[in-house]
Amino acid sequence: MNQTSKIINQAKKEGRKALLEPEAKTICMEYDIPVTKFKVALNENEAANYACEIGYPVVLKIVSPDIIHKSDAGGVIVNLKTPGEVTEAYKKILENVKKYNASAKIVGILVQEMAPQSTEVIVGAIKDPQFGQTLMFGLGGIFVEILKDVNFRIAPLTPDDAKDMITELKAYPLLKGYRNTPPADIGALVNILSSTSRLVMDNPEIKELDLNPVMAYQKGAKTVDARIILE
């Protein structure tokens, strides 16, 4: 059986609807969606060792089925550059999370590659009761939250559908490049949308998927956070 079915079956068995970030990213990897390198550490020393393997700077994040919005819980610390900073951040995250929700079950701490800052985009999927799996694409931050500049298409997407979802955004000129901002790799974003379409079509038990943010680079793109919710 593939990783994706294994992860989904395991979550169902445990009665969990929200997949953990490392689970969601493992599924993404199986569908050729680029994600930050990561490993789950169970203690501070392990975290420091993984940081070394992955390469500095790294980001540490809480892994808990009871914490969906990790930064709200003080569960994300970015830009860690030394083993000392990693062990400190490890302790700090556990402390923050305990304050936020004393009964949260802690699976471990995710150590991951820090993705360089760039234009942030959001790839989403939602299972519409009428239309079925539907993909969403937009730019991060104010573009989605305030300007509602997002495009939807019903899955399965053709590469042309995916391209239209990107180029029809009002904010598309930002991706095409302007002033000192280099153009984003539109092909890489088309591939992520197409892969996400395949992912949700193959797995109808997925109710919601969020790749938020995806860093769009001049060459390639990288998913920094992934969330999958099951029916």
Q: 153-212: which residues touch Mg ion (CB under 5 A)? A: 212
CB of 144 to Mg ion, least distance (A): 12
Q: Which residues bind ligand ADP (CB under 6 A)?
A: 36, 59, 61, 69-71, 76, 78, 112-115, 213, 224-225
Please state, in angstroms and rounded to a whole number, the distance separating the CA atoms of residues 26 and 30.
6
| 101 vs 158, beta carbon nearer ligand ADP | 101
| 111 vs 157, beta carbon nearer ligand ADP | 111
Q: Which stretch binds Mg ion (CB under 5 A): 51-59, 139-147, 197-205, 223-231?
A: 223-231
| 203 vs 212, beta carbon nearer Mg ion | 212
**Residue 150 near which of Mg ion, ligand ADP, none (CB within 5-8 Å, type-dependent):** none
Please state, in angstroms and rounded to a whole number, the distance separating the CA atoms of residues 41 and 210.
24
CB of 160 to Mg ion, least distance (A): 29
Q: Which of 225, 228, 229, 231 touches Mg ion (CB under 5 A)?
A: 225
User: CB-based contacts of 64: which residues, under 8 Å, 6+ apart?
Assistant: 20, 75, 97, 104, 105, 106, 107
**Residue 78 near which of Mg ion, ligand ADP, none (CB within 5-8 Å, type-dependent):** ligand ADP
Q: Which residue is nearest to Mg ion (CB)?
A: 225
**Residue 224 near which of Mg ion, ligand ADP, none (CB within 5-8 Å, type-dependent):** ligand ADP
| 25 vs 127, beta carbon nearer ligand ADP | 25
For residue 136, give both structure tokens: 């969403």
| 79 vs 82, beta carbon nearer ligand ADP | 79
Q: Does the footprint of Mg ion cover residue 120 (CB under 5 A)?
A: no
Binding site for Mg ion (CB under 5 A): 212, 225
